[in-house]
Structure 1
Amino acid sequence: MEQQQAMQMLDHIRRNMESCIFGKKEEITWMLTALAAGGHVLIEDVPGTGKTQMVKALARSIGGVFHRIQCNPDLLPTDITGVSIYHPKEEQFVFRPGPVMTNILLADEINRATTKTQSALLEAMEERHVSVDGISYPLPKPFALFATQNPIEFDGTYSLPEAQLDRFLMKIKLGYPDADSEKRLLLEPGAGRSADSLSAVASVDDILEIQRITEAIHLDNSVADYMISLIRGTRKHSAILLGASPRAGIALASCAKAFALQQRRAFVLPDDVKAVAPLVLGHRLYLRSEARMQGATTISVLEEVLRQIPVPVGLER
């Protein structure tokens, strides 16, 4: 697959998703950015805004295996990873795979699961395999976790551990649809069709090729220096208690490349970095209590850091 074909394939997936997801063009772009970069996504918003529908639309569009976990306090780690069960006829333990053995895993309302169960996903997210009874089982390729969560102020929710948040490539919020899109859902019969009715317009092999091409997008030294300055700037800011990690820098580069590909370019610009930075870094920063009391947010502080970093000019193509 050539770069032009990869761009066209992403366009096909986008149009397929937009046929059942209205008024969310930007959010669909971010989902495809994460898919092309090979990372995981945390989707946070209030109930009823289409979080689950969005992930199902993406999964249906690319084919492959799709599993969904409905998280709740009773969910056990083995309900996700799988379990070894003794088989009397064979006189040995047989591994029964859990729903994590899939290409696209939807963990619905992940912050309603206990911290122990949430942590069971860490190995799968980072290492792309799971360990059961001391044996490691590789996950299918590609593998991506799309987790949805309600705001933590809602009843029955648990905050995700910092280590797990850092393993999500991006965190996005859907928000409510615009008035025209919401009106369309009310007036047009069948306009809001289910994602289950979508047909695949790409294959898992196509996605692996897109990820390979994304990785090869050119990143100029000056843009890499710009990213490093941004990452280090978050660690020095007086309002930030915990700045971006080296993993965050790698994620920023991956997402900037994937976004550049969708902009039909073979190289990354500083504007690509600025576009993806809030979604890549926002959930990785922790503010000091005094800054939060003064009304600061991670996004507002990040925007301040971005304004302070000089933008490189005269990039090589």
Structure 2
Amino acid sequence: MKNGSSFTGFILLGFSDRPQLERRVLFVVLLIFYLLTLLGNTTIIALSRLDPHLHTPMYFFLSNLSFLDLCYTTSTVPQLLVHLRGADKSISFGGCVAQLFVSLWLGSTECILLGVMAFDRYAAVCRPLHYTVIMHPRLCALMASASWFTGFTNSSLQTVLIFLLPLCGKNKIDHFFCEIPPLLKLACVDTTVIESEVFSVCVIVLLIPVALITFSYGQIVRAVLRIKSAAGQRKAFGTCGSHFTVVSLFYGTGIYIYLQPSNNYSQDQGKFISLFYTIVTPMVNPVIYTLRNKDVMGAMKKPPGMLM
């Protein structure tokens, strides 16, 4: 029985089992998506820092989300682009550990942060007169830090458990990056206990924020329906609609990957779903937030000298 530390590295099979895919086309599409992701999220972060009108809790959390998306995409997509262009699809053991750790850390942090952002929208819509008292800068920094720390703790625990499994010489990962479901398939022992632990943690990290978001939006809908002004209703629903769209995209794919029984897990579907939330979701998040937000659109139209 050999454990993972016996290996010099792994082979990421990626999409090599689908020769009908045109690699050049896929490479160009992913490269364009990646560049758009960098541009969109960097713009959100820069505007949130430079424009004084965007120095609010909502944009503080939004800039955190954009930074998360930037790092998450960068932890997987550049390597995939390299593998699509060359024959060498290897990744070192340390590189695989680091990739799993970083992707889990950032993904878990985003789960918690989206729940925090729902609470911020609840306070803005349902407690407008007390909003600045409730969401003061110290509390915002504390909630953001707690999101990052919770994600770090979850990632550390799961990464250690996954790489303690004996792999018995198996080193071919049927995926384009190191992720828990395909890594579990390399183990040569019964993984029922580990799968149960992963499922339990994912229930906490995924479903508790979903419950918080559901409660927050239930209260928001009740509050908005009491607004007599149609313009006020549109503004409230427009602001919250962007966040709800992002939440649906992110949690929908996460729940599909991590909260289904392993015997129902389709490797091919898992690859394309993973491709969706590693590149498509981070790319569309800035678009969703900017197209429906007058403050961000106004900041984008200002000359650089007027942002300071």
Where on the TM-score scale, by shorter chain, does this alignment land: which range? under 0.3
Q: Tell me the TM-score normalised to structure 2 length.
A: 0.23
Q: Tell me the TM-score normalised to structure 1 length.
A: 0.23
